[in-house]
Structure 1
Amino acid sequence: MKMTLSPARCFIVLLILSFVDAGRIFWEMKERVREVQLQRAERLLLAKVPRGRQHFHVKLGFLEQQLDHFNRQGSKTFRQTYLVNDKYWKKPDGPVFLFIGGEGPLSWADVVFGHHVEMAKKHDALLVALEHRFYGDSINPDGLKMENLASLSSQQALMDLAVFHEHISQSFNLTSNNTWISFGGSYAGALSAWFKRGFPHLAFAAVASSAPIRAKLDFSAYSKMVGLALQNERVRGSLKCFSEVQKAFAALEAALMAGDVCHQVATDFNCCQEPKDLDDQICLMQNLADIFMGTVQYNDEFMNIGMICDVMTNKTRDDERVGYGGLVRLSKMFFGARCLDASFKNELNQLMNTTVGRGSYRQWIYQTCTEFGFYQSCEDAMCPFSRMISLKSQEEICQLVFGISLPSLKRNVAFSNTYYGGDSPTTHRVLYVNGEIDPWRELSVVGACTADGEKARDVLIEGAAHCADMMTGQVDDRASLKSGRKEIENYVTDILRTAEVEKMERRCD
């Protein structure tokens, strides 16, 4: 029987078509997930409150920040965006929930929707959010050229948060009676933990969701975790699905290595150009692997593991092939009639584009080269993709785009782990939350101890994906996700009780 797209799948194609022109598909999937979440928040808000955002009195503010906090002689500044929602705040002593922005723009929804907002309602908290420097609208006015990116780092971002803390405290006449708790997800989750670590006098506690607090040059474990998720029956994966993905990429690699069938590969996957050069072939492999990586990381956001496994394991009347044929069908489902750009040159051009307002890809890749690595190679035995996606092929990006050599890259990653403590951080009152199928949990804290031997507080949510706990709860959420959010709520409640006890002790002294 000929495979047809359901209305849901047709919707997916429409979503993807708008952002496949250039660059790694995974990064663009990430940005699109954010857009879908914002659209969902808008619909939910209008369904509940006819006046929409105005009902929440979300206040947009701007803070003039030092461009370089560590150079006291420096005078350059940039305008940093922040948001405030004081609808639930019980003046004057209610707590403050700080939402930390990550590698993308801040949105009004960050102080209106989300699990932290639900908890703010219960605890009469003031909601504030700060956009990360060099992302969204908070970009150095000098632009994104290499010499200007020098002030883009997690260390500078943490200082931004400290200055923001002072600004909000002065603006709202806050005192030591106002307990601050920071919240963040993914990279911002790591910032949440690090803010508590570096400024314990400012943040009383932190919640760090899907937080990769350990820098890792060769993050091959990411692909391993994707492979395990494709086998996980709890999220509609299967051993057959994993096997067919492996076979598909092996067949594609063999076809590319044969050389004389590159034209057929280009036709099968509707490539914009024939992937004759090795760099273009690797780019094609990465783009196709990104479909699986993005789906696993953001499972159920606009696509899920069950859907791609159905495509990979079922043959059609028009195409009796399963593995390779499934990969072809999945690619067509993603890109529709538009061609797949597998040009390495085009990717480099996107990364070298210093125009402000062209997204966040350049800035984040710069941070991976100067701080974290996080390169998702396929050099683990459990990787379901092609070994052509190597660490070397990704390390070269740092040299070609930013002039950062491999020895410098290794030193940068090592410095981050020395500076922050890797996965044995000296952090107290930090709750680490991770999803079972989220590949980033490999770099987070799960059942571990801090550097001084204390058991770290953590929550592992069965079947959950990346930052799933941060979303506003829905009736049809899996039971484990509801239970995980309840654990987070209990933690926040206990933390606020502890803060009250400490306040009373200070008054008695």
Structure 2
Amino acid sequence: MYGMRGPPVPDNHIQTLPDNWFDQRVDHFNTSDTRTFKQRYFINNKYYKTGGPVFLLVDGENEGQDYFITAGALAGYAQRFGALAVDLEHRYYGQSLPTEDLSIGNLRYLTVGQALKDTEQFIGYLNRKLSLNNNTKWIAFGGSYAGNLVAFLREKYPHAVAGSVASSAPIQMTYDFNQYYPAVSQSLGTECSKQVREAFQLVVDQLKTPDGWLAIGKEFKLCTPLNGTDRDSVYRFMLSLMEPFAISAQYDGRSPMGVHRVCSLMMTTDNRTDNGSKSSPVDRLAQVMTEYRKGNCIDYEYNKLINVLKDIKPSPQAMFRQWFYQMCTEFGYFQTTDHSDSPFGHNVPIDHYVKICSDAYGKQFTPDVIRKSVDRFNQYYGGAKPENITNVVFTNGAVDPWHVLSVLTDLNPTTRAIYMNSTSHGAEMLQPLPTDPQELTDARLAIEKQLQLFLQ
């Protein structure tokens, strides 16, 4: 459950723009509910020229910050087009909190529909506040889940934005996302995946006996002894082992543990253990985990996860309850090993995720309820082929496992797809670097060309 957050912001980035606040309605669809909350946004007017467009970065399941409109690729586009650059924080994330707590009753206002209306209302507000020309054109940008939002914004509120740039946007919601791990395997390559498959099969064999549980605890530095009869904790442990490989693919190129590094560790078969014997695939898997977790033990217990998800106290640094709620109510996206060719074994079934939804948010979350919610969402927004959507550019990298749920070919003459073979999740949103592959540079130039068309 690695979320869909856009590309990781550099650790050394320091916010330079002040916080701004907008009085947003809590519930847009109940006229008798007049409550409002403070929604945070940032403005960068460094490149703005009178009469220029507005480039709006829509945030997703993360705390808002000013990186993308001051240093990211969007800032470069703003400079080229003389645009005002704006960043809008998503309701319930960061400091934009519509309710005092995150109780299940309050979370009912956390929907894509409410978030889209937030954006439409904010655009009208800023037009009035800044006395922008009636002909001012807005372009919406978003990555990952926020990429979905800007695509849907153009679909449902075409009067609000002249176009959208949807980066790594998996707009096809999926109850059982069993394609995720095979996509990870493809990004790892044949030989690396072979070593990974062997290692996971050996771990699965160890899970069959108490002696194997003890061995696992030592090999992988578990925080507490493993009880192999605790099925859901075993699932959490197996997900922990999969995590470095998933993250390496999802953020390859801008992550310390990219595909090259994890595969280098898994494929160095002549390594030796402390006693001088040749390392096994499990030894090498343990080495991956040690480096990925920086020596920290693996805290895998299911009950601890549920306690985190049941915490209703808001915090800008702890937003997992909100994101998983969205998964349970609208998205699915449950990354299972139910695929027939799962490279990581078959130890994380869809039932595990349904149980999390039920234990964290209430017994009303049954498989049928969740599945129907995902189906309704796709019917309303159109899934991977939304109808009557224009002026959107979808960008995806083949290394990113999420690309299988996105738009990979042009939908119509104005809704285009840019597909890159060597990049991953939202890479083109980041600040350009001299080391970027040529196709990433070409993708940014192609986006710029589409912006010119949207602004005509």
TM-score (norm 1): 0.84
Does residue 379 in structure 1 map to residue 338 in structure 2? Answer: yes
Provide the residue aligned with 1:424 in structure 2: 385
In the alignment, residue 227 of structure 1 is paired with which amino acid?
S
Provide the residue aligned with 1:440 in structure 2: 402
Deviation string, structure 1 residues 29-65 (Cα, Å, up to 9, x no partner)? 969x73xx242444xxxxxxxxx93xxxx34211111
In the alignment, residue 119 of structure 2 is paired with which amino acid?
L
Give SS of 1:320's match: coil
Deviation string, structure 1 residues 328-376 (Cα, Å, up to 9, x no partner)? 1111112244221110111111111112115111100000011000011
Provide the residue aligned with 2:231 in structure 1: 278
Q: Distance in 2 between matches of 1:299 and 1:158?
A: 30
Q: Distance in 1 between matches of 2:414 and 2:100?
A: 45
Provide the residue aligned with 1:173 in structure 2: 131
Contact 1:190 1:212 in 2 (8 A): yes
Provide the residue aligned with 1:148 in structure 2: 106
Q: Distance in 2 between matches of 1:213 and 1:425?
A: 9
Give SS of 2:208's match: helix
Provide the residue aligned with 2:374 in structure 1: 413
Give SS of 1:39's match: coil
Does residue 245 in structure 1 map to residue 196 in structure 2? Answer: yes
Give SS of 1:80's match: strand
Q: Structure 1's 435 and 251: CA in aligned 2 closer, same or farther, altered over 3 A?
A: same
Instruction: Supply the RMSD in Å over aligned alpha carbons.
Output: 1.7
| Equivalent residue runs for 1:47-446 within 5 Å | 53=16, 58-91=17-50, 93-231=51-189, 239-276=190-227, 277-302=230-255, 303-315=257-269, 316-318=271-273, 320-357=278-315, 358-403=317-362, 404-426=365-387, 427-446=389-408
Q: Which has the higher helix share?
A: 1
Contact 1:312 1:322 in 2 (8 A): no
Q: Distance in 1 between matches of 2:130 and 2:280?
A: 62
Q: Distance in 1 between matches of 2:432 and 2:88?
A: 23
Give SS of 2:43's match: strand
Q: Structure 1's 41 and 493: CA in aligned 2 closer, same or farther, altered over 3 A?
A: farther
* Superposition deviation, residue 384 in structure 1: 1.5
* Superposition deviation, residue 220 in structure 1: 0.9
* Superposition deviation, residue 381 in structure 1: 3.2
Provide the residue aligned with 2:11 in structure 1: 39
Q: Structure 1's 68 and 188: CA in aligned 2 closer, same or farther, altered over 3 A?
A: same
Aligned residues: 445
* Superposition deviation, residue 159 in structure 1: 0.5
Q: Distance in 2 between matches of 1:365 and 1:337?
A: 27
Q: Distance in 2 between matches of 1:360 and 1:254?
A: 35
Identity %: 30
* Superposition deviation, residue 140 in structure 1: 2.5
Contact 1:218 1:374 in 2 (8 A): yes
Contact 1:86 1:126 in 2 (8 A): yes
Report which stretch shifted further, 124-133 or 105-114: 105-114
Q: Distance in 2 between matches of 1:388 and 1:437?
A: 24
Contact 2:247 2:258 in 1 (8 A): no
Provide the residue aligned with 2:431 in structure 1: 472
Report which stretch shifted further, 335-344 or 263-272: 335-344
In the alignment, residue 290 of structure 1 is paired with which amino acid?
E
Q: Which runs of 5+ in 2 are unaligned?
A: none
Q: Structure 1's 130 and 30: CA in aligned 2 closer, same or farther, altered over 3 A?
A: closer
Contact 2:392 2:414 in 1 (8 A): no
* Superposition deviation, residue 171 in structure 1: 1.2
In the alignment, residue 279 of structure 2 is paired with which amino acid?
R
Q: Which runs of 5+ in 1 are unaligned?
A: 1-23, 43-51, 232-238, 499-509
